[in-house]
Chains A and B, each alone.
Chain A
Amino acid sequence: MTPTRRALLLAAGTVPFLRVPARAQASAGVLRFGLSAFPPNLQPWVSTGASAGTVKMLIHRRLISYDEKGELRGELATSWAHGDDGVWTFRLNPAAKFQNGEPVTAEDVKWNIEQIAGERSTAYMRTQLQAISSIETPDAHTVRLITREPVAPLPHWFAGYNMGIIWRKSEANNPIGAGPFRVTAQERGSSMELTAVPNHWQAGLPKVKGIKLTVYADENLRAAALQSGDVDMIEYVPWQSMDAVEADPRLSLDAVEGPFMDVVFNGARGPFTDARVRRAVAHAIKREDIVKAAFFGRGKALEGIPIIEGSPYYDAELAKGWAYDPARAKALLAEAGVPNGFQTTLLATAQYGMHKDTAEVVQQHLAAIGIQCELRLPDWSTRVSLGTRGQYEIAIHGTAAENNDPDGLSAFFDTSLSPSHGRSYMVQAPRTVEALAKGRAEFDPARRIEAYKAFQRAALEEVPMVCLAWRSQGYGFDKSVKGFVNLPGALTTSSGAMLEQTYFG
């Protein structure tokens, strides 16, 4: 061939074909949703993250869910109440049906609880539900739960996204739920299609014909897909893109502060066995720097126990219990016998930017009071392993409470529970643990508030962990998408359930 000119012309001639506009087309009534991660699996009771939770809440029904304000709202159950003896009674909606047409009965609910609490269970709520000593089913639509100890927050247990109730005769690999959608197609790791169940038993639900979930693991690409119109809606709008989404006249941002970052300690050995040293850490860190460095300003300093403002358990003074005060931090170190600080290691993970950025700010502020930290930044899997085995001194962690009831914080503040990467390792905080137990058993609202204020005071002194910052969690969507609400506080991770009432307007 004659090189160059002709070849170049030929090459140039192909360019227009590359410009054929072929943007992902919207199909009528199908919501295109950008997920941050593909659900590892959809086993109803096993905890595999919030993405899986979103899908599970749409294909299954729980006894109770949450309304737009984050208040409990019946789903399979129409009512629930406790007696003076602490026994909880749930009444089921007689109209409720599984996707195969079978009615949802008290027997089904009983069977689900037994499976979850079973000896060989891998369910998330296994330990909690083992506190139920017996289950009575006086009729087909009534379930009575008798617990070993009184449990005031029990309805919240049944509102978590790992609590879908399935048909008791389901095959092991094919759980049949009672939700308004079913999974009709999926490609492992990439996408999933949900289709509305015809004649769903809850009148008016769902409001769209289907939901096409596409995974965009790269957060910037996820934001780009929303901005270019490839999808109608995304979860986890990256903090750096929130300004752009807000500024875009075609898009809306719905962000709440719910999840938070914290520091956990190894209380088995070393200087952090002393609560005064842990408290020194709490007072040494300027939280605003973390909000700026890790979350582009999209968050809020958290200088106390993570209870959202506006909650009856919130106390403005206690919320500042760990206010930034380096002089106090130094004094606490001196009191603990280490006035000049010490060398230690700080464990985080390089896999998630927010963990690494938070660790760097913490390292800097601890150095200012004399605690010199060497950063350890392995991948997340290694970080989890080291955390559970107590192979660290202090570590950065990020999480969200189960729900907005303060009992939802037990998983992180109750250090008497078995070791986990998500809570401090063998830290002694007996008064905190006791206060949590007291609140759990208290039904009277006023006394319950008192109990949890006592819990906050105890935790501020015993420091089972140090809270650092709320982080903003946002959904971005096209203005034509209506009816969706990002649930307040910790419940933001359960907001996926709102997709059933989302529609195009």
Chain B
Amino acid sequence: MWWLLRRIGVSLALAWIVATIVFMTLHMVPGDPAEILLSTGGVAPDPAAVAELRERLGLEQPLLTQYGQFLLGLTRGDLGTSLVDEYPVLDEIALRLPRTLELIFAGTILAVIVAIPAGTWAALHRGGVFDRIASGTAAFLLAVPVFVVGTVLVLVFAQMLRIMPAGGYVPFAQNPGQHMTLLAMPAVAIAKGLAAVVFRMTRASVLDALSRDYVRTARAKGISPTRVLVRHVVRNALTPVLTVLGLHMGTLLGGTVLVEYVFNWPGMSTPLLRAVEARDYPMVVGIVLTISGLFLLINLIMDLLYAALDPRIRTA
């Protein structure tokens, strides 16, 4: 039990370190939230008005006092309110995090559905026409930046063919059909890079498994080729693929910025970007803390799973 408590303690300490670093660096960066807000559109604000707004937002207090208040709020689960419109940070995250997660899951599912069968097929027919085309496509998809793919999708499907909306979001409860339609293009854009990685990993991994002794033995025993493939080859080959998939899903959490921007998907990236631009300190700290918290949580769960699988880790 001791190792478990220690592991959770380490996670909490890491969360505190992340929060502190983000809070401090953000305040060190030049830029004054009050001045930026009142300068929107390039106008020249009255310095007296800026000073008054700074006072109201509590920005005139010493940095350590602000930090103390922030930590105090954190212990109560309070992330504060936006400096721009006093909107509670937690409400913003609660509204937008599920949408970002939905996008990531949709992209991942799409990538897995396409890439794992394709990778297996390519490995089974190594050097064949399909293998060459698919490997070439994977390399191409990895190389093309996500915003190019996004823009091309919008151009072709929304502007030229006019069969898809250019972007946006409708809640699932309000109109399920349109929700899925709007989800399709950003999910494809997210899936493209991931699909390429999963395809290559699957192909390599299946090739490796095919040459293993247990496969030869299974075949020698006279088991049907399909059964060998499904129960022995693919099953064993998928373990490294799942590891890669897990790692990449974590990265996507912070990497959906461009996709959300290009397709106007109201996830968590846009508010983060806007908050950084506006130096909306509580909003930035809150969102970054949430993302890093999810990372830490995933890591913690992984460690616990490994420990469950391998008793040696518990004593280490």
Tell whether A24 pairs with B168 under 8 Å between CB atoms, given A216-B264, A224-B158.
yes
A24 touches B264 (CB 8 A): no
Least distance between A82 CB and chain B CB atoms (Å): 25
With CB as the reference atom, state the residue of chain A lying closest to B43.
Answer: A47
Contact between B165 and A418 (Cβ–Cβ < 8 Å)? no
A22 on interface, CB distance cutoff 8 Å = yes
A438-484: which have CB < 8 Å to B?
Answer: none
Stretch at the interface among B26-34, B247-255, B295-303: B26-34
CB closest chain-B residue, reference A7 = B117
Task: Give the size range of B's interface with the partner.
Answer: 35 or more
Q: Is A21 part of the contact surface with B, judged by Cβ < 8 Å?
A: yes
Which of B40, B116, B279 is most buried by chain A, counting CB atoms within 10 A of its CB?
B40
Interface centre among B39, B56, B163, B279 (most CB of A within 10 A): B39
Q: Closest approach, in angstroms, between the C-beta of A228 and any C-beta of chain B?
A: 4
Do A418 and B52 touch across chains, with their CB atoms under 8 A apart?
no
User: Across the interface, do A40 and B40 meet the contact criterion of CB distance under 8 Å?
Assistant: yes
Residues of A within 8 A of B50 (CB): 122
* A379 CA to B279 CA, complexed, in Å: 11
Most buried by B among A216, A225, A400, A411: A225
Evaluate contact between B41 and A381: CB separation under 8 angstroms. Answer: no
Q: Which of B44, B53, B92, B277 is in CB contact (< 8 Å) with A122?
A: B53
Contact of B48 with A by CB under 8 A: yes
How distant is B199 from chain A, measured CB to nearest CB, in Å?
Answer: 13
Asked if B45 and A3 sit within 8 Å, CB to CB, the answer is: no
- With a cutoff of 8 Å between Cβ atoms, the chain A residues found around residue B35 in the complex are 384-385, 388
CB contacts (< 8 Å) of B52 on chain A: these are: 120-122
Closest CB-CB distance, A423 to chain B, in whole Å? Answer: 6
- How many residue pairs at the A-B interface have CB separations less than 8 Å? 196
Q: Are A412 and B44 in contact (CB under 8 A)?
A: yes
Q: Tell me which residues across on chain A come within 8 A of B46, comparing CB atoms.
A: 124, 126-127, 418
CB distance from B268 to the nearest CB of A (A): 10
Task: Tell me whether A40 and B43 are in contact (CB under 8 A).
Answer: no
**CB <8 Å contact, B48 and A126:** yes
Whether A379 contacts B277 by the Cβ 8 Å rule is yes
Contacts of A370-384 to chain B: CB distance below 8 A: 378-382, 384
- B168→A418 contact, CB < 8 A: no
Kindly provide the distance from the CB of B93 to the nearest chain A CB, expressed in whole angstroms: 12
Closest B residue, CB atoms, query A118 = B52
A225 to B264, CA, bound (A): 10
A469–B165 alpha-carbon span in the complex (Å) = 36
A23 contacts B117, CB within 8 Å? no
> Taking chain B's interface residues, is the majority helix, strand, or loop, or is none over half, making it mixed?
helix
How would residues 397 to 418 of chain A score, 1 for a CB under 8 Å from any chain B CB and 0 otherwise?
1111000000000011000011
Cβ of A124 and Cβ of B229 under 8 Å apart? Answer: no
- 1/0 per residue B253-281: CB within 8 Å of A? 00000000111101000110010011100
Residues of B within 8 A of A263 (CB): none
CB distance from B61 to the nearest CB of A (A): 18
Task: Find A23's partner among B40, B121, B165, B234 (CB 8 Å cutoff).
Answer: B165
**Set of chain A residues within 8 Å of B38, measured between Cβ atoms:** 46-48, 122, 124
Complex CA–CA separation, A388 to B35 (angstroms): 9
A217/B261 in contact, CB under 8 A: yes
A419 interface contact, C-beta 8 A: yes
Contact yes or no, B226 A2, CB < 8 A: yes
Residues on A with beta carbons closer than 8 Å to the beta carbon of B279: 381
Q: Is A431 at the interface (CB under 8 A from chain B)?
A: no
Min C-beta distance of B42 to chain A, whole Å: 4
- Residue of B52, B95, B155 most packed against chain A (CB within 10 A): B52
Confirm or deny: B228 has a beta carbon within 8 angstroms of a beta carbon on chain A.
no
- Which residues of B sit under 8 angstroms from A386, Cβ to Cβ? 30
Shortest distance between the CB of B183 and any CB in chain A (Å): 10
Q: Which residue of B lies closest to A398 (CB)?
A: B42
A385 to B168 CA separation, bound complex (whole angstroms): 34
Kindly state the separation between the CA atoms of A8 and B115 in the bound complex, as whole angstroms. 10
What is the 8 Å Cβ interface bit string for chain B, positions 120-147, against chain A (1 contact, 0 not)? 1100100000000000000000000000
Give the contact-size bracket for chain A: 35 or more
Contacts of B31 in A (CB 8 A): 379, 381-382, 384-385
* Stretch from A182-190, A286-294, A306-314 that touches the partner: A182-190
Name B49's contact: one of A126, A216, A382, A421 (CB within 8 Å). A126
Complex CA gap A419/B47 in Å reads 8
Assess the B177–A20 pair: CB atoms within 8 A.
Answer: yes
| Contact (A4, B181) CB under 8 Å given A121-B49, A230-B168, A385-B31 | no
B36 at the interface (CB under 8 A from A): yes
Measured CA separation A381–B37 after assembly (Å): 9
From A11, A48, A218, contact of B264 by CB (8 A): A218
Chain B: minimal CB distance from A42 (Å): 8
Residue of A nearest to B280 (CB): A40
The verdict on B173 contacting chain A, using a C-beta distance below 8 Å, is no
Nearest A-chain residue to B35, judged by Cβ: A384
Q: Given that A18-B184, A422-B39 are known contacts, is A3 also in contact with B234, CB under 8 Å in the complex?
A: yes
Q: Flag if B45 contacts A420 (CB, 8 Å).
A: yes
A385 to B278, CA, bound (A): 12
Let me know if A69 is at the binding interface, CB within 8 A. no
B169 within 8 Å of A by Cβ? yes
Residues of A within 8 A of B117 (CB): 3-4, 7-8, 11
B92 to chain A, nearest CB (A): 6
The interface residues of chain A lying within 8 Å CB-to-CB of B175 are 22
Q: How far is the CB of A390 from chain B (nearest CB, A)?
A: 13
Q: Are A221 and B262 in contact (CB under 8 A)?
A: yes
- State which of A1, A189, A227, A421 has its C-beta within 8 Å of the C-beta of B39: A421
- A475-498 CB mask vs B (1 if < 8 Å, else 0) is 000000000000000000100000
Distance from B259 Cβ to chain A, minimum over Cβ atoms (Å)? 11
Q: Can you give 22 contacting A-B residue pairs, CB < 8 Å?
A: A3-B124, A7-B117, A22-B165, A22-B175, A40-B37, A122-B53, A127-B48, A189-B271, A190-B169, A215-B264, A217-B264, A221-B167, A224-B154, A224-B155, A224-B159, A227-B158, A228-B165, A386-B30, A388-B35, A417-B44, A420-B39, A422-B39
